[in-house]
Amino acid sequence: MTASALSVHTGVLDKAARGERLNAAEIEALYHLPLPDVAAVAHGLRLQRRDPQLVSFLIDRNINYTNICNVGCNFCAFYRTRRQDDSYTLDHEQISHKIRELEEVGGTRILLQGGVNPELGLDYYTSLLRHVKANHPTIRIDAFSPEEVLFMEKTFGLSLDELLDTLIEAGLDGLPGAGGEILEDDVRAKAAPARIRSADWFRIIDAAQRKGLYTISTMVIGFGETYAQRTAHLLQIREQQDRAHAQYQGNGFSGFAMWTLQTEHTRLHGKAPGATAHEYLQQLAIARIALDNVPNIQASWPAQGFKVAQAALYYGANDLGSTMLEENVVSAAAGHDRHRVTVRELIRIAVDAGFTPVIRNSRFEIIERPDVDAYLQRTAANPEADRAVGAG
């Protein structure tokens, strides 16, 4: 490294370590610095911004209510056309059955998302929300990506405000920020020509935050995007968070989740570079540094595996996401069935990495400090033991 490069290196990292906000050029410079140095700053900021001892996670379940979708993203192996034999749309009882399984293990939230199914009317969504609220009153419903909301807005003749009010009245608690990928339209247009554009994604998220709904920010790397495009993605999230904090009584993104593109069974296989574990950890650390106003950064075990997710706790992450119980979208694209984890496994990942695990709700509020010894004494060969502890 030359003397001038060393001075840039030291200057940017020192500024970041002092907790000062970095501009676009400084964030982009981080991609060219040694990862251990960037990681050390990111971990230091994580220790300052969140309780240094704690790693949190959520007991929840993903429910994909339909796999019929007319958007046809090139990176998606989950969606089906309605004529395909394995297309489905779940009814109320099928969804209740899944929620009862979640309740049995002490879960508190469902993440209810699906494809853009042109056969569904507004009544499907509102009656589903009402059914869940009436029959599972302790379960929070975080539902529908901005893509699904855009479809409803275009199809049902309601303004965005009217639509969100209707969904909230029916029981919607949060609007997860799925579909963020890279919020630069050049990247989106190549990966998924019919995908929601970034302006609509932010317009819908902004309205959700204005109405007090839970949201998180997301990012997927590996489309072949440039460092400048990744930086622009992070800066847009930071700007939205500033706006939400200033205007919506602090109701911005509760956290940030990112993972790497999975292409194994998709049309992008062999056409997009994907991202290695090194790139994932680098991007995570840079996100922790750049997003100085987003408190919680999640490690992603469904895409990265448990071991990389555990390492991520030293690259800026303070949270292990959630149990999911069922994840179909990332695992379909990746061609693996890594779609569920027990409470015991998440506890073990946190403890072995040197942290104290806590169970949170979807707003990242701690709701339980589990008895770590009780969990760890139980053998992985006895999943029923996990259930018993999880329900307690």
Residues at the site binding ligand SF4, with contacts judged by CB under 6 A: 69, 71-73, 76, 78-79, 115-116, 147
* For ligand SF4, the closer CB: 328 or 361: 328
Q: Which is nearer to ligand SF4, 128 or 261 (CB)?
A: 261
Toward ligand SF4, which CB reaches closer, 73 or 163? 73
Taking the complex as a whole, the smallest distance from the CB of residue 69 to ligand SF4 amounts, in Å, to: 3
Shortest Cβ distance from residue 88 to ligand SF4 (Å)? 13
Q: What is the amino acid identity at position 50?
A: R
Closer to ligand SF4 by CB, 53 or 81: give it: 81
Compute the least distance from the CB of residue 79 to ligand SF4, in Å: 4
Q: How many residues does the chain have?
A: 392
C-alpha 43/C-alpha 290 separation (Å) is: 13
In terms of CB distance, is 56 or 328 closer to ligand SF4? 328
Does the annotation place 104 within a ligand binding site?
A: no
Is 87 annotated as contributing to ligand binding? no
Helix (H, G, I), strand (E, B) or coil at 357: strand
Q: Which is nearer to ligand SF4, 261 or 297 (CB)?
A: 261
Residue 155 Cβ, how far from ligand SF4 at the closest point, in Å? Answer: 14
Joined together, the tokens standing for residue 137 give: 């009153």
The position carrying tokens 């602090």 is 250
Distance CA 148, CA 157 (A): 14
Is residue 334 exposed (0-12), middle (13-18) or buried (19+ Cβ within 10 Å)? Answer: buried
Count of helix runs (H) and strand runs (E) in the chain: 16, 10
Residue closer to ligand SF4 by CB (options 76, 281) is 76
153 CB-side CA count, 13 A? 19
Nearest distance, CB of residue 243 and ligand SF4, angstroms: 26
75 annotated as ligand-binding: yes
76 marked as part of a ligand binding site: yes
Is residue 156 a known part of a binding site?
A: no
Cα gap 43→51, rounded to integer Å? 12
Could you give the CA distance from residue 39 to residue 17 in angstroms, rounded to a whole number?
11
> What is the nearest approach in angstroms of ligand SF4 to the Cβ of residue 329?
6
Q: Are 289 and 27 in contact (CB under 8 A)?
A: yes
- Residue 169 annotated as lining a ligand binding site: no
**Is 96 annotated as a binding-site member?**
no
Instruction: Using the minimum distance from each CB to ligand SF4, give the nearer residue, 79 or 301.
Output: 79
Output the six-digit token pair for 259. Answer: 């993972």
Minimal distance, residue 145 CB to ligand SF4, in Å: 7
- Asked if 358 and 370 touch (Cβ cutoff 8 Å), the reply is yes
Reported as half-sphere exposure (CB side, CA atoms, 13 A), residue 227 has a value of 14
Confirm if 69 and 195 have CB atoms less than 8 A apart: no
- Is 127 annotated in a binding site? The answer is no
Determine the Cα–Cα distance for residues 188 and 102; give it in Å rounded to an integer: 34
Of all helices (H) and strands (E), which one includes residue 148? helix 146-155
User: Least distance (Å) from ligand SF4 to the CB of residue 140?
Assistant: 22
Fill in the DSSP letter of residue 335.
T
Binding residue ranges for S-adenosyl-L-methionine: 75, 181
Binding residue ranges: 69, 73, 75-76, 145, 181, 300, 322
